[in-house]
Structure 1
């Protein structure tokens, strides 16, 4: 039996599964490369790249289990996986605190201009505190789009800063909002009243380009959008135009629409976007779950799921 690991995950996965099978590693192969090699493996361990399409799954003649060390499954052709008898396991909730803390971090960075201030000191050799007058989170309204595990944790942390929390999630009963001290609203209402709006929704046809010129126009001019979910939820062209025109206060993201365009993380590939011109845009390279704590917890979960699925004792 053989296992293929195609992303940087907890080393405990290779160590434990290596007791039962041969474990190979190929970090972020292309779809074509993966299709060419997957036929030899019963287990695939991955995160979100590359997308697992029908071509890959049809080439995976021996594949029994895909362990996804992240939350979303929109990158896996679940219909074909089911038809081919491949079990797919993800790790819901186990990176929730890591993503929530990153969201709060970016709120503070945007509010206090810490990144441009740091650059002004280190790069420009300036020491001018008067250029960076910020605002506090206290008393501001945080709008949460997608009030699941991550969204609720963000709300909990925000309340510690004495923020008011409003949220949109059509799949939750009213008592959850009450328990979390959040007011349930429509998307339009959330956008209208919020000083900060944080996205914690999956990328679906319904959420694709949810933030566009029209929806941004319904927000406060100094509002900040935070996106720790998926890049495609924000129309980056419209966001760029809004930032340049002063129609919105800022955009802080951990994701972008074409994160792996032109080679992504491999072979020193470059990455660029018109958004990089905007001073009120900050970004990190999809590191929401990149903590040793989350990696440990996710690794243990995936190990248990794979062993259970394959009846490994």
Structure 2
């Protein structure tokens, strides 16, 4: 049986595959769709991150496919209905990068609230912007709003409370009696938007969440509020966010995910000269430690699925 890996992972984890499996580790495959489709045609198992589109076209080109291992947790790049119809197992690495994303959220909240860490060029040029940069704020005493309260958002809440943040969350899919609500005050989405000083998104991209944080929703946030998106691109109206930052309506934002990924120069141009904005290339959940955990879990998941009898 053949395993095809189209994106990067921890190579040491590959030793976890049994010797009788033919493993093709080709992390550049994602850059060439035609070659990816051809490789999928030989695959019993496919391991991907978020850029490889496991869509109807790929599934049609992969008649032997039995399992898709996802190096992460998001599934919007995978045709779940198509996989289910074929009996193809889909195995996300649940929980493996939770801590990494949670730390990213807290770290960017600190940075954006303080606003003091982008002064190198000015200081090297002989400036001393102490007055301006001394006006940043502390996060203690602020309200952190978590839109979506799954495992990652719950981990963020666990890190935030000891720092003196008030934690509120909105998630209509989490039962009111769920024990996670002990760590956050349960609010409606509308109330959360009005009360959050720092808004962190933890939602899947669905028809219901696409464009959810548009100009109207952004206008409901407090003046000077901070927005952090580590969930999925397309949930935030990027143009409206840039406008709110340029006008000073919002105090800052961190975007790790984008409507168009990878972000090219055309899509990226809208972010030029936007103040107090942090852009990162979908790496909130990618740390050295998380990559090891994600890779090992995915190898185990895929190998286990391949051992299941064919029905």
How far does residue 119 in structure 1 lie from its aligned partner after superposition?
Answer: 4.2
Asked if the contact 1:31–1:56 (Cα under 8 Å) also holds between the matched residues in 2, the reply is no
Question: Who is 2:189 aligned against?
Answer: 187
Give the secondary structure class of the aligned counterpart of 1:301: helix
Alignment of 1:34-45 (within 5 A): 34-45=36-47
Q: Which runs of 5+ in 2 are unaligned?
A: none
Alignment of 1:126-145 (within 5 A): 126-132=127-133, 133-145=135-147
Question: Who is 1:73 aligned against?
Answer: 75
Question: Who is 2:58 aligned against?
Answer: 56
The alignment status of 1:300 with 2:296, answered yes or no, reads yes
> Are residues 231 and 82 of structure 1, via their aligned partners in 2, closer, same or farther at CA, if it must alter by over 3 Å?
same
Asked if the contact 2:168–2:185 (Cα under 8 Å) also holds between the matched residues in 1, the reply is yes
Alignment of 1:1-313 (within 5 A): 1-17=1-17, 19-26=19-26, 27=28, 28-122=30-124, 124-132=125-133, 133-176=135-178, 179-260=181-262, 272-311=268-307
- Write the deviation string for residues 62-87 of structure 1: whole angstroms up to 9, x where unpaired: 11111001011111011111222321
Distance 1:204 1:48 in 2: 15
How far does residue 125 in structure 1 lie from its aligned partner after superposition?
Answer: 4.5
- Write the deviation string for residues 78-118 of structure 1: whole angstroms up to 9, x where unpaired: 11112223211001221111000001110011011133224
How far does residue 273 in structure 1 lie from its aligned partner after superposition?
Answer: 2.9
Q: Which has the higher contact order (CA 8 A, sep 6+)?
A: 2
Q: Which runs of 5+ in 1 are unaligned?
A: 263-268
Give the secondary structure class of the aligned counterpart of 2:60: helix
Q: Greater shift after overlay, 5-14 or 270-279?
A: 270-279
How far does residue 180 in structure 1 lie from its aligned partner after superposition?
Answer: 3.2
Distance 1:161 1:119 in 2: 31
> Are residues 119 and 109 of structure 1, via their aligned partners in 2, closer, same or farther at CA, if it must alter by over 3 Å?
farther
How far does residue 165 in structure 1 lie from its aligned partner after superposition?
Answer: 0.6
How far does residue 29 in structure 1 lie from its aligned partner after superposition?
Answer: 3.2
Distance 1:249 1:306 in 2: 44
Asked if the contact 1:177–1:184 (Cα under 8 Å) also holds between the matched residues in 2, the reply is no
**TM-score where L is the length of structure 2:** 0.92
- Write the deviation string for residues 13-47 of structure 1: whole angstroms up to 9, x where unpaired: 32222623222233223433322221111111111
Distance 2:168 2:114 in 1: 23
Distance 1:298 1:178 in 2: 24
Distance 1:117 1:30 in 2: 40
How far does residue 261 in structure 1 lie from its aligned partner after superposition?
Answer: 5.4
Distance 1:85 1:176 in 2: 32
Tell me the matched-pair count. Answer: 305
